[in-house]
Amino acid sequence: MKTFSLQPEEPQGRPDFLKGLNEQQKKAVTHTNGPLLIVAGAGSGKTRVLTYRIAYLLQQFKAAPNEILALTFTNKAAREMKERIGNLIGDKAQKLWMGTFHSIFSKILRFEADKIGYGRDFTIYDTSDSETVIKQILQELNFDPKEIKPRTIRNKISDAKNQLINPDQFQQRFVSSTLDDITARVYALYIKRLKQSNAMDFDDLLIKPIELFEEHPDVLATYQDRFKYILIDEYQDTNHAQYKATKMLADKYRNICVVGDDAQSIYSFRGADISNILNFKEDYENATQVPLEQNYRSTKSILQCADSIIKKNTKQLEKTLWTEKEHGEPITMLDNHDERDEANRVASYINELKLRVGYKNNDFAILYRTNYQSRVFEEALRRKDLAYQLVGGLSFYQRKEIKDVLAYLTLLVNPHDETNLLRIINEPSRGIGNKSIQDLLVQARGESRSVWSILEHVESTDVYKPAKVRIREFVNMINTLRSELEHGKGLTETTRSVLEQSGYMKALVEENSQESMMRRDNILEFQNAIAYYEKGTSKPSLSAFLQEISLITDSDKFDENKPAITLMTVHASKGLEFPVVFVVGLEENLFPVSGRDGFDADIEEERRLFYVAITRAQERLYFSFCRSRYKFGEEQRQLRSRFLDEVDPGVVRTETGVTITQKTDRYHLDTSSSKLFSDTSTTIEYDWETPVSRKSYKETTGTTIHYDYDDQNDPFQVGARVIHAKFGPGKIISRTGLGMDAKVVVFFKERGQKKLMLKAAPLQVID
């Protein structure tokens, strides 16, 4: 077995890892003894510091590669760090224990699972799998999943797990309502059901190592002795389970280095505890604190804006970001009529910046508070033929057909996985009806056995005889495929066999619909993915592939090199950067999502979220809000976000929604002199800062330009009640165009929906 030598090399053979680092970065990299807190402001080079710190530890022979544990929150961050370290120190980087909390802890559990009653090939359940189990339990308890939402129960169970509260403790501490009582009952059965299925959910990957370490001190001692240095990225995002597990591991050597920024703690909804980073120096005596304050990402105006916002929070670690970059463009605030106006203006600004400045599509990001806001921006970008990528939509691996194929493959390594077994036992239809499945479930519950063990002895059950034949055929198929895999059949070939023997692909082809053909194409793409994995891995295994797939997150799907504008929530944008950023929907009850009577802690987190959005921008930053927005089919007035009133006014300019369209020239309006000036010969829409009335201007060339502004006195606004000479009373539900050339859609009580041109329709507004 090849070992890592701790004998020093010749000094001239070592690269200078400290060259190019600023003084604070050097201090963080070279601190090698005892606890270390690196308070890394946005864009301050924390990834570089972590990378160089690990390389420095290896260069100085403080530890072998497999004695260093580095924990991140995304696979993307782990891959980038490992690649950078590999460029510095070579192949030794491959021996580092580096990855997400979930991937590293699942790796430990693969080695040690038998000690806590699990098989090493346990399945990892994603959110939808967990909700499927909970839905089934609710039905068994005679609750209607349409009234008691499985997602609500799952979230409450997840919160309890992350606080290390077991079902018994939950029942003692939280049963104060009917929902809590139901949750307690479901929680106990959920834990039992997962163990019977040899399955763990995402939360289990964090709490089962703690259970392992507490029940087996010898195992804990082994891993404590192995990990001489522990590094944790984004420490402000850790929950109680992550905090406790890493504290247990660091207890021997205490060489724990955490990197984070309390100003970017935005995940309390999934259990993140900001006190972990705020109290680090209390948890670890004699800890050293190093602030990273020089920002390498953003202009001075953007940092000034960010600083003015975050300083309003009361609980924070002291730091002030600064940069050597130029002051840059002021932040532009877009004041819009409604969400369609907002989306169209953002799309127009993107077009204009591409033409005038030379930006490319992937230089732009549109950030919003909630996913549903993406729709109007997608429509606006499509109308202007601007390519975009939507981050946070339906994952490829969440599509039904892909989940079905993954379920088949999962049974080959873990046939006791009940959720995946029930998913495909009759998919495609093979004559095993719901009645037979329910009979099997009842017997499995009564005998406290897995459904698979009942299927293997189906002849001794009371299941309908024709169904027994089909079940035996299904069991034989799975066992044959398992045997072939165990005897060396490749993963790509195994997947082909699954699709062929199950009849899944045949059923899609025979259906011959547009949807079935799309599903077939998705499965073919999945086969490409598994072939790529098999070819690029030295020791490919189906179990490892399934684990890798189960741990993919939205951030791992983001492609920064794709020539497309990025649409994503602010939460999803964390850790990313873009030359141009639009932060949209800055209105009360949307961003911040809490109302004005919200708790201070909630508002402080919303403010940190706004800070994260601001600090994604490198060169140009735009804020956008609407005066009205459609909600539940009705137009409602909106209040602009309180955060906009907290921004330093010295770095912001406001532009209202006056537009002009001209086929030959673009014009700029000097509002002080009311003159138009031509500044290019490109077709484009131009927005002005100051609202003006309907006018026309004549250039010296003789061209007359007309433009409109829908001022407050225009009575034909969305929501106005009107009467038509022929159609009777109605209500304006949408409007396009300007002035009397505008077209409106009116819903008439007696005649339904009609599209009318204002200047031609006999409409009158009624009070």
**What burial class does residue 50 get, using C-beta atoms within 10 Å of its C-beta: 0-12 exposed, 13-18 middle, 19+ buried?**
buried
465 is catalytic: no
Let me know how many helices (H) and strands (E) the chain has, helices first: 29, 28
Q: Which residue in 467, 459, 472, 481 sits closest to 407, CA to CA?
A: 481
- As a residue count, the chain comes to 767
* Known catalytic residue at 234: yes
Phi, psi of 336 (to 5 degrees): -115, 155
Phi, psi (degrees; rounded to nearest 5) at 304: -60, -40
Catalytic residue among 25, 72, 264, 389: 264
Question: Within a 13 Å sphere around the CA of 291, how many CA atoms are in the beta-carbon half?
Answer: 13
The maximal CA–CA distance of the chain, rounded, in angstroms, is 96
Question: From CA 497, how far away is CA 511, in angstroms rounded?
Answer: 20
Tell which residue, 307, 311, 313, 280, has the closest CA to residue 295. 307
Q: Return the closest-CA partner of residue 72 out of 234, 214, 221.
A: 234
Of 121, 131, 203, 234, the catalytic one is 234
Residues 6+ apart with CB under 8 A from 657: 334, 335, 336, 337, 341, 345, 687, 709
Give the integer Cα–Cα distance in Å for 752 and 480: 61
Q: List beta partners, residue 288.
A: 36
Beta carbons within 8 Å of 484's beta carbon, 6+ residues apart = 494, 497
CA 466 to chain CA mean position, Å:
46
Choosing from 76, 193, 616, 620, the catalytic residue is 616
The residue from 26, 46, 154, 244 that is catalytic is: 46
Q: Is 307 among the catalytic positions? A: no
Q: What is the DSSP letter of 569?
A: E
From the list 30, 32, 47, 443, the catalytic residue is: 47
Assign residue 702 a region (left: φ > 0; alpha: ψ between -120 and 50; beta: otherwise): left
Measure the CA–CA gap between 600 and 748, rounded to whole angstroms.
46
In DSSP terms, 752 is beta-bridged to 748
Task: State the Cα–Cα distance between residues 511 and 88, nearest whole angstrom.
Answer: 54
Q: Which of 129, 203, 233, 273 is catalytic?
A: 233
Q: Check: CB of residue 350 under 8 Å from CB of residue 364.
A: yes
* Cβ neighbour number for residue 32 with a 10 Å cutoff: 15
Catalytic residue annotation:
46-47, 233-234, 264, 616
